[in-house]
Amino acid sequence: MKEYRTTIKVRGYHLDLYGHVNNARYLEFLEEARWRMIEGSANLQAWKERGLGFVVVKITINYRRAAVLDDVLEIVSHVHHLGGRSGMIKQEVLRGEGDAVERVADAEVTFVVVDIATGRAVAMAGEIRDALAPGES
């Protein structure tokens, strides 16, 4: 499956009182990585003009290690599964290089493509499926 990689450097405003990345910031990091992934495979402006929107409906996240100031995090994202009306993106937040890579967090994100006028999920078919389908690495 095609992976998308996004790098984010931890800044002071990402930190909480204890000096590590606040749990809510991880959701923002993951969201930034998903936007980059989707923009790389789908024409979101064309979707919007057709009245379609990409919507997250569920996120399950596991926090494994604390990230701190100046850490460089790499977020690896890929579409894991497409069903009839929903899909799942898997994401990992990694720190380090080579043999020293640590998993900081990982998440499973369930999403739908909706008809903006009705708010209802549309079928993952045709050009929508083509744009989101898991590709080859």
Is 16 a known active-site residue? yes
CB 15 within 8 A of CB 86: no
Cα dihedral 109, 35, 52, 132 in deg (nearest 10): -70
Question: What is the CB neighbour count within 10 angstroms for residue 101?
Answer: 12
Q: Do the strands 120-121 and 102-115 form a parallel or antiparallel pair, or are they unpaired?
A: antiparallel
What gap in Å lies between CA 13 and CA 121, rounded to an integer?
36
Q: Of 16, 71, 106, 130, which residue is the catalytic one?
A: 16
Give how far the C-alpha of residue 31 lies from the chain's centroid of Cα atoms, to the nearest Å.
5
Active site residues: 16
